Amino acid sequence: MAPTTTLPTRAEIPDKYKWDSTSIFANQAAWEKEFEYVLADLAQLEPYRGHLGDNPQTLADALELAQRLQKRVGIVFVYASMSHAVDMPDQNAAAMNGRVLGLAGRAGAAFAFLDPETISIGQETLNEWMQREPRLEIYKHYFDNLFRKQKHVRSSEVEEILGMLADPFSGAYTANNVLTSADLKFPPARDSQDNEHEVAQGSIYTCLDDPDRALRRSAWQNYRDTYLAFKNTSAAQLATSIKQNVFQMRARHFDNTLEMTLFEQNIPVTVFHNLINTFKKNLGTWHRYWRARKKALGVESLYTYDIWAPLTKHTRHISYEEAVDWICAGLAPMGKEYVDIVRHGALEARWVDALPNRGKTEGAFSSGTAGTHPFILMSYDNNMGALSTLAHELGHSMHSYLTWQTQPMVYTNYGNFVAEVASNFHQAMVRAYMLKEITDRDFRLNILEEAMQNFHRYFFIMPTLARFELIAHERVEHGQALTADELVELCADLYAEGYGQELQIDRPRDGITWATFGHLYADYYVFQYATGISGANALSKRILSGAPNAVVKYINFLRAGSSKYPLDALRDAGVDLSQPEPVEAAFQVLESYVSQLEELIG
């Protein structure tokens, strides 16, 4: 038997493929010093408590101080959280991460009086004060948003308590993240030659897109069975998170958690339901894809572990550097300045912690804050899927970069609804370029497979999980308990509907899917992947078709941050996601990919 394929340790990864932590702090000692300074400096806000209404100058001083402190807290937080994410078993990094979660809670409590006191000044007075104090003018949208949310903002005392809950309420997610990234140990998978392959969060999809079906089946079963072994723990963690959200809903006097969560971004609940209804109506497109995939693989029955299987024996190896070249070529319509920033960040400034290593957290994300440059965590594994993931996260990073370059601190925290447009936009642009340029059948199959896997994740899994979390939240809202078996059965039912008669359901292993997605700890986040991919394809189509000022409007959208409501910012860029039409159009894009696949498969 051949030796087991294992992941490298953190120390074995070359520095050029690691995020540049020294761009934030020279070392941990410098971080420690700033941590203590920020913790002490939070007290500087206390003299303003009860005095924001004294005069416009005092209000401006307090808001400016709060923004400076928020920026410093963010910088300290990013350094610790990234250090922890790239090496979860590192106890020192885990301790740093725990401390910054506590700091975030302290900061939330320190800032808690600002909104209630500002509201108590009154909108008419604030409008007059903005005329008298120029420093207040930038807060116009912030003030408007405050009064929009007025009936859900509680007293200073209650807001302080709610702010202090940020740290303890992070416990469910933190515990789940530690469980899945550090404590879960997966049995190695065996391929058809009886060779062992390490199964870990950073390697599972490398196993699942392997041509060896025995390896795929073994890896998927071992991965899912390990989650099933801890289903009761995972269910308790998720139920706790949902109960916390229901508590917040009741404390802020909302009718349900969906309304509360979307209200924060001024998104009507009809947007969520439009997405779900359109998804259910178009499930036939997915059934058609399953049929095509089954035919291409030449199998009698298609299982979940076959969804990522390559449709050609000739999978194109794409190095990290080559991926950056493809991404930059695809983004060329955005202009030289935009492309140069992407290339510099990916290759020279070490924005990206690129390669898998033992102990690295699952998935991929873009991090950072105003005062740092963006940072990306991923596990690049030299294929088209990895190229697409890199493009996706660079979309997030460019959104952040341009927002931080343009907006004051108060408008830098844009919502998930617009974030997922920016990330999927990059993928749509790069995919369109590659399909236009490449004629080789196998490489085109690789690209179309990536497109389908991207849509599978964001336009099949995420809407399915959105349906799952809505039902789970509604059960808790109505006083029902959530058991592990109930959650597994609910998820399995939804997957069975999505699979139809074309794909075989393995009810326990498909039903535990919810436990493998930490996204569910950010309530009603997952549906925004589907609206995001819809908006992204609509906006990329505008640019590629040469619509007037389409590039300028899109870059202005990225620069807007949270200075506009999400739906308004997207309308200004050229897409209206309050209506179901962009989702329908995205299904047409999906259908075109299926047609191209069917043609290539024959």
Question: Could you list the active site residues?
Answer: 393
For residues 506 and 488, is the Cβ–Cβ distance under 8 A?
Answer: no
Closest to 45 measured CA to CA, from 98, 99, 101, 114: 114
Q: Kindly state the tokens that stand for 263.
A: 């209200």
For residues 330 and 304, is the Cβ–Cβ distance under 8 A?
Answer: no
Cα three-residue angle 550-577-530, rounded to 5 degrees: 105
Bridge partners for 367 per DSSP: 375
Please spell the DSSP secondary structure of 481-504, one letter per residue. ---HHHHHHHHHHHHHHHHTTTS-
For residues 383 and 539, is the Cβ–Cβ distance under 8 A?
Answer: no
Backbone angles phi and psi of 303, in degrees to 5: -120, 170
Q: Kindly state the tokens that stand for 80.
A: 């610790």
For residues 466 and 498, is the Cβ–Cβ distance under 8 A?
Answer: no
**Residue type, position 391, single letter:** A
Burial (CB < 10 A; 0-12, 13-18, 19+), residue 559, is middle
Q: How far is CA 349 from CA 345, 352, 455, 511, in A?
A: 5, 9, 30, 42
Q: Which helix (DSSP H) or strand (DSSP E) does residue 190 occupy?
A: strand 189-190
Taken in order 519, 523, 525, 527, is the CA torsion positive or negative? positive
In what side-by-side order are the strands of the sheet with 352-353? 352-353, 375-377, 365-367
Residue with tokens 């447009």: 421
Q: Which helix (DSSP H) or strand (DSSP E) does residue 60 occupy?
A: helix 56-85
Closest to 499 measured CA to CA, from 486, 513, 487: 513
Contacts of 205 (CB under 8 A, 6+ apart): 308, 381, 385
Q: Which helix (DSSP H) or strand (DSSP E) does residue 402 occupy?
A: helix 384-406
Contacts of 105 (CB under 8 A, 6+ apart): 163, 164, 165, 166, 167, 168, 170
The 3-state DSSP class for residue 6 equals coil
Q: Is 18 left (phi over 0), alpha (psi -120 to 50) or beta?
A: beta
Cα–Cα distance between 255 and 175 in angstroms, integer? 29
Cα three-residue angle 352-353-359, rounded to 5 degrees: 160
For residues 315 and 446, is the Cβ–Cβ distance under 8 A?
Answer: yes
For residues 391 and 327, is the Cβ–Cβ distance under 8 A?
Answer: yes
